[in-house]
Structure 1
Amino acid sequence: MKTKTILELLTLSSSLYYIARDTQFLDRIGELSEKGKDNINKLMSDKELDENGNEMEFIDRIITKTHELKEELNEKIEKQVVTFYKKINVAHLDEIKALNERLEKLDATVALLEARINHLES
Structure 2
Amino acid sequence: MKTKTILELITLSSSLYFIAKDNHFLDRINELSEKGKDNMNKFMTDSQFDENGNELEFVNRIIAKTHELKEELNEKIEQQVIKFYKKINVAHLDEIKALNEKLEKLDATVALLEARINHLES
Q: Which residue of 1 aligns with 2:23?
A: 23
Distance 2:113 2:24 in 1: 70
For residue 74 of structure 1, report the CA deviation from its aligned partner. Answer: 1.2
User: What does 1:1-122 correspond to in 2, within 5 Å?
Assistant: 1-122=1-122
Q: What secondary structure sits across from 1:13 in the alignment? A: helix
Paired residue total: 122
Distance 1:27 1:118 in 2: 78
Distance 2:71 2:88 in 1: 26
Distance 1:31 1:114 in 2: 71
% identical aligned pairs: 84
Distance 1:59 1:35 in 2: 22
Q: Which amino acid aligns with 1:36?
A: G
Distance 1:49 1:59 in 2: 13
Q: What secondary structure sits across from 1:51 in the alignment? A: coil
For residue 10 of structure 1, report the CA deviation from its aligned partner. Answer: 0.6
Query: For residues 54-112 of structure 1, what are the alpha-carbon distances to aligned partners after superposition, in whole Å with 9 as ceiling and x for unaligned?
Result: 11111111111111111111111111111111111111111111100100101111111
Q: TM-score, normalised by structure 1?
A: 0.95
Q: What secondary structure sits across from 2:85 in the alignment? A: helix
For residue 121 of structure 1, report the CA deviation from its aligned partner. Answer: 2.1
For residue 7 of structure 1, report the CA deviation from its aligned partner. Answer: 0.5
Q: What secondary structure sits across from 2:86 in the alignment? A: helix
Distance 1:102 1:40 in 2: 54
CA-based RMSD of the aligned residues comes to 1.0
